[in-house]
């Protein structure tokens, strides 16, 4: 029986993995950092393999606040180098992935006149660091009067309102940017495989020579590589211990949660920034894909679950903070979806650092072990490209490979085309598939053709892959995502050559997962 196009593509990728005697670079981890490293190395012409144990961006990299930004909070902390670097990377992302990254205006309401003056000074510095006017759609910040603030934020609390400040940053779809990076690796001749886990590292004569990998179907591969990059995010310490069992931990994971509610709670096109929450952070209320995204928190975690859930009090904290700024604040029953992500903060290991997580750095660290494992630790989505460039430079030195200049600063990512269609230049290929234009459910944009495209061209192997990361239904509205799961399973089964039993199991698994995104699972007041 002939393989379907999607199954044939996966089989060809595994055959290439088995037949390649040695890779220049093996990257472990398919989140922002790992994918960035693979793109950087492939763009320089090296033979690159990237493997991810789950799906691309399954962890932290699909659970961000959807912002490409310098970090107003880091400006307040005086960390100007990090802000400057992030704003430079913001400009590059706006240019290199215009189908996925777009300018977004933020408004900070002010209830004390002195706050307006302080914000104006701080955001003026933000403008200068970012080079406003040199980035498409990014304008200078400006002071708003009460009427202008109310026009921008129609549901903001008006009692005591003195005006506000408007400034610009950028917004993106994190999971789809990760997918664009994976496809860019492929475009450049590299190999990126999801559902292919690291089983062990191969150390010979005190030097790291490769790895043992296990694909989801059970096949085991011994892979030789000149150098291995550990880009596994919050799990990076575990990989470091495979290379050197006694090595001390370097990460202190922190959790941030987000709530998604109806756009009617803050209509319009502007986002609202709460400049200082009760825990000293900032909180965002952001228009996102027809909904309103609220977040985030900063809570220490002593464990590393694959599917983290909000901790007691986190949901209430976000809702209570929103209530202080909105005339009609959302309540628990208004939450359409909730999700949590783990940040890989540099901080001396879980339980070994007493500083509040909000004070820990979002900068990154590159470590080379005695065996030659290159670990990239920390960082954030906005600076993924710069982190990757530095990591690949270090990896080349470890491997003794000939040095070639980095090429990603101006590299347009797969699908790059002006506009707000997340498929970019792939849209024509999507529309050529069966089911083009046939939406599967009212209230969601997903079409039958987009599901087929996810299987054939975007590495999707499960209902979760489609509804959580190829389309964001699970993050936008749990109830609608559950309703559509059966249809998605049937289409995927057709594309992957699966049967009815597979469909039933997929729907069951997805509905179990969806429970953790449903507001009903949150702790009650």
The pLDDT tens digits for 123-161 are 888 888 887 655 667 889 999 999 999 999 999 999 999
Q: Are residues 395 and 438 in the same domain?
A: no
Nearest CA among 65, 83, 66 for reference residue 75: 83
Tens digit of pLDDT for each residue in 233-242? 999 999 999 9
> For residue 23, which phi and psi values (nearest 5 degrees)?
-105, 150
Q: What pLDDT, on a 0 to 100 scale, did the predictor assign at position 71?
A: 82
Note whether residue 498 is domain-resident: yes
> For residue 351, which phi and psi values (nearest 5 degrees)?
80, 0
Strand partners, 67: 171
Q: Are residues 369 and 438 in the same domain?
A: no
Nearest CA among 482, 475, 470 for reference residue 506: 482
Note whether residue 215 is domain-resident: yes
Domain total of the chain: 2
Identify the domain containing residue 233 by its residue range.
5-60+176-250+350-399
- Contacts of residue 499, Cβ cutoff 8 Å, sequence gap at least 6: 493
Q: Are residues 244 and 371 in the same domain?
A: yes
Given a contact cutoff of 8 angstroms between Cβ atoms, the answer to whether 261 and 330 are in contact is yes
Work out the number of other CB atoms within 10 angstroms of the CB of residue 504: 12
Which CATH number goes with the domain that contains 445?
1.10.8.870
Q: Are residues 513 and 451 in the same domain?
A: yes
Domain C-terminal end among 366, 399, 432: 399
Note whether residue 216 is domain-resident: yes
Note whether residue 462 is domain-resident: yes
Strand partners, 227: 25
Q: What pLDDT, on a 0 to 100 scale, did the predictor assign at position 523?
A: 42
Distance, in Å, from the CA atom of 161 to the CA atom of 145, rounded to the nearest integer, reads 9
Note whether residue 200 is domain-resident: yes
Residue 193, pLDDT > 50, answer: yes
Q: Are residues 392 and 462 in the same domain?
A: no
- Out of 47-61, 146-160, 356-370, pick the least confident: 356-370
Strand partners, 300: 254
Which CATH number goes with the domain that contains 26?
3.50.50.60
Note whether residue 112 is domain-resident: no
Exposed/middle/buried for residue 5 (C-beta within 10 Å: 0-12, 13-18, 19+)? middle
Q: Are residues 432 and 504 in the same domain?
A: yes
Nearest CA among 332, 178, 321, 325 for reference residue 260: 332
**Which residue bears the tokens 């270090």?**
394
Q: What pLDDT, on a 0 to 100 scale, did the predictor assign at position 70?
A: 86
Note whether residue 261 is domain-resident: no
Q: Are residues 185 and 52 in the same domain?
A: yes
Q: Are residues 356 and 242 in the same domain?
A: yes
Task: Return mean pLDDT, the chain.
Answer: 93
Note whether residue 390 is domain-resident: yes
Domain C-terminal end among 384, 399, 414: 399
Average confidence (pLDDT) over 292-303? 94
Q: Are residues 507 and 431 in the same domain?
A: yes
Q: Are residues 486 and 360 in the same domain?
A: no
Nearest CA among 440, 462, 460 for reference residue 449: 440
Q: In this structure, what DSSP letter does residue 479 have?
A: H
Distance, in Å, from the CA atom of 181 to the CA atom of 43, rounded to the nearest integer, reads 12
Residue 77, pLDDT > 80, answer: no
Q: What pLDDT, on a 0 to 100 scale, did the predictor assign at position 134?
A: 54
Given a contact cutoff of 8 angstroms between Cβ atoms, the answer to whether 369 and 243 are in contact is yes
pLDDT over 90 percentage in the chain: 85
- Contacts of residue 276, Cβ cutoff 8 Å, sequence gap at least 6: 282
Q: Are residues 371 and 438 in the same domain?
A: no
Band (pLDDT 50/70/90 cuts) for residue 114 is confident
Q: Are residues 449 and 493 in the same domain?
A: yes
């Amino acid at each position: 029986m002939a393989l379907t196009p999607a199954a044939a593509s996966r089989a060809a990728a595994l055959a290439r993995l088995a037949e390649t005697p040695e890779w220049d670079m093996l990257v472990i981890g398919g989140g922002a950092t790992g994918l960035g490293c693979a793109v950087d190395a492939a763009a320089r012409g090296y033979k690159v393999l990237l493997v991810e144990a789950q799906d691309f961006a399954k962890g932290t990299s699909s659970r961000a606040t959807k912002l490409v930004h310098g970090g107003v909070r880091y400006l307040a902390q005086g960390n100007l180098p990090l802000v400057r670097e992030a704003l430079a990377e913001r400009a590059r992302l706006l240019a290199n992935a215009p189908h996925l990254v777009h300018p977004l205006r933020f408004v900070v309401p002010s209830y004390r006149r002195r706050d307006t003056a302080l914000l104006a000074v701080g955001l003026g510095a933000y403008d200068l660091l970012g080079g406003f006017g040199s980035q498409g759609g990014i304008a200078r910040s400006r002071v708003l009067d009460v009427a202008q603030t109310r026009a921008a934020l129609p549901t903001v609390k008006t009692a005591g309102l003195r005006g506000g400040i408007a400034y610009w940053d950028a917004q993106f779809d994190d999971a789809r940017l990760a997918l664009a990076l994976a496809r860019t690796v492929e475009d450049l001749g590299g190999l990126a495989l999801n559902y292919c886990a690291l089983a062990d590292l191969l150390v010979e004569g005190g030097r790291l020579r490769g790895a043992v990998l296990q694909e989801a179907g059970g096949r085991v591969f011994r892979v030789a590589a000149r150098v291995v990059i550990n880009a596994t995010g919050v799990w990076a310490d575990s990989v470091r211990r495979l290379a050197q069992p006694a090595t001390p931990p370097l990460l202190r994971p922190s959790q941030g949660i987000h709530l998604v509610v109806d756009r009617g709670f803050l209509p319009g096109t502007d986002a609202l920034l709460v400049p200082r929450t009760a825990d000293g952070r900032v909180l965002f209320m952001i228009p996102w894909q027809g909904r309103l995204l609220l977040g985030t928190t900063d809570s220490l975690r002593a464990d590393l679950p694959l599917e983290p859930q909000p901790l007691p009090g986190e949901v209430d904290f976000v809702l209570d903070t929103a209530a202080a700024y909105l005339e009609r604040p959302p309540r628990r029953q208004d939450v359409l979806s909730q999700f949590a992500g783990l940040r890989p903060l540099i901080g001396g290991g879980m339980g070994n650092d007493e500083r509040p997580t909000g004070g820990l750095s979002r900068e990154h660290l590159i470590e080379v072990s005695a065996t030659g494992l290159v670990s990239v630790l920390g960082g954030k989505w906005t600076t993924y490209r710069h982190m990757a460039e530095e990591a690949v430079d270090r990896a080349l030195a470890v491997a003794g490979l000939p040095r070639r200049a980095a090429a990603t600063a101006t590299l347009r990512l797969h699908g790059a085309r002006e506009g707000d269609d997340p498929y970019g230049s792939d849209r024509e290929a999507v529309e050529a598939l069966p089911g083009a234009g046939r939406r599967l459910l009212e209230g969601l944009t997903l079409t039958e053709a987009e599901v087929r495209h996810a299987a054939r061209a975007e590495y999707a192997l499960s209902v979760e892959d489609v509804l959580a990361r190829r389309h964001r239904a699970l993050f936008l509205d749990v109830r609608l995502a559950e309703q559509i799961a059966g249809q998605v399973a049937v289409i995927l089964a057709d594309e992957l050559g699966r049967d009815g039993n597979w469909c039933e199991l997929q729907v069951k698994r997805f509905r179990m997962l969806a429970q953790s995104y449903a507001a009903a699972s949150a702790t009650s007041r």
